[in-house]
Each structure stands twice: as structure tokens, then as C-alpha cells.
Amino acid sequence: AQSVAQPEDQVNVAEGNPLTVKCTYSVSGNPYLFWYVQYPNRGLQFLLKYITGDNLVKGSYGFEAEFNKSQTSFHLKKPSALVSDSALYFCAVRDMNSGYSTLTFGKGTMLLVSP
Amino acid sequence: DVKVTQSSRYLVKRTGEKVFLECVQDMDHENMFWYRQDPGLGLRLIYFSYDVKMKEKGDIPEGYSVSREKKERFSLILESASTNQTSMYLCASSWGPGQGAYEQYFGPGTRLTVT
């Protein structure tokens, strides 16, 4: 079975400061990992994914994520937050060895960036 | 750009009604998915389909059924709507098959209220 934990329901950060949204995962094999963002009353938008190789993955809108196999984590980061980054963020995982392309999502973390 | 459309943004139905939610994707994706999103619970997979006329149960299939008669269209059916099915419903699609790290593309969602 695969699972994802996002330990923070909400993260608050001031504009211009670095931000981190945490994610840990559990799979029986090796993971594919994803981050999505959801703006109010919208569907989810893909930000970035980790497949293999470099542990630091760069994605859309200046976001990046660091894969840490020993800590089974995939934290989302941005060096300088913008007010427009305020949204709901979801981490998702897929076991590489699973037969179907289904993802397991975390419960989401609300990011609030204050001016 | 991949486009996933859902037939309604908002829907209000009465208890016991049969409800159809339609989803269409324009990228010839093999896989299609239906999720429900509830506060504090994240996204939960209801059903998915990896090919025309093929379907698989997700984590919470009870009270739902699906239909995929054409590759681009995936319908979610609530045979007899109940108040506990009030939720946001999200459709998604992705390339398949097999073990690739395919991101999912989401529609804008349908907010269903059952009274």
C-alpha cells in the first residue's frame, strides 16, 4: 500500500521569505512523487514530479522539491514567496511497481502568504 | 494544452435522484479518474478507467458507478443520491499504460449539493 502525509494543515509565510511545504510518503518499492496546486474553485494543477536521478526537482512558478530517500520525504520549496502563491498544495505518490497509474494524495496544506 | 472539461460547475440535486457527472478530455489519454474532495480528507479515488469499457474500483466506490463508452468520455453515476455525497467531484486524465510517471490533468470540478 502507498500513503502520503502532509503534517501541516496550514503554513503561513511573509512575502519575500522562503517557504517549505512538507510531505512524507510510504511505498513498498521506489516512488514517483508529485506536487499539485489548487487555487480557489479550480481543479488541481501539476507543479513538478520526481522520477529518478537528481534529488532536486524544479517545476512551475519557481517551485522546487527535494527528494530525500532516507527520510522518505519530498518537501516543496520556493526561495521567495509571493502573495499569489497562496493556495492549497497536494503531494501525491505512486509506487513504481504498481500496475495502474493511480496516485495517492495527501490531505493538502493551505499556504497563506501575507503581504 | 491538455483540456479536461466537466459538464457542470455547480449542481443541486434531491435525495434519491439519479445523478450523472460527465467528463471529457481532448488529449487521447488512456487513463481517466474520478475523485471526490472533502475538507480535511484530501482527494479520494472513487473509480478509474485504463481503457474504453474498462473500470476499476478506487478507495471509495460505494454508492457510485461509472461508464466509459468512448475513450474521451468518463461518466460518474450516483444511482440514488444521498446527502453524504455532497462534495466536490474532480475528474482527471493521464497517459497510460504501465509503469510510467504520468502526471494527471484535472478538470475544474463539480460542486454537488444533495438536499
pLDDT digits (tens, 9 = 90+) for A18-37: 999 999 999 988 899 999 99
Whether the CB-CB separation of A96 and A31 falls below 8 Å is answered with yes
Query: Of A45, A46, A100, which is closest to B56 when you measure between CB atoms?
Result: A100
Between B13 and A96, where is the model more confident?
B13
pLDDT (mean) for B90-104: 82
Q: Smallest Cα–Cα separation from A28: which of A77, A102, A106, A96?
A: A96
pLDDT, position B79: 94
DSSP B102: P
Please tell me the distance in Å from A75's CA to the nearest CA on chain B: 18
Surface-to-core class of residue A88, CB atoms within 10 Å of its CB (0-12 exposed, 13-18 middle, 19+ buried): buried
pLDDT (mean) for A38-43: 88
Residues from chain A contacting residue B106 (CB–CB below 8 Å): 36, 43-45
Backbone angles phi, psi at A101, to 5 degrees: -85, 45
Whether the CB-CB separation of B71 and B28 falls below 8 Å is answered with yes
**Closest B-chain CA to A10:** B40
Q: Chain-wide mean pLDDT for chain A?
A: 93
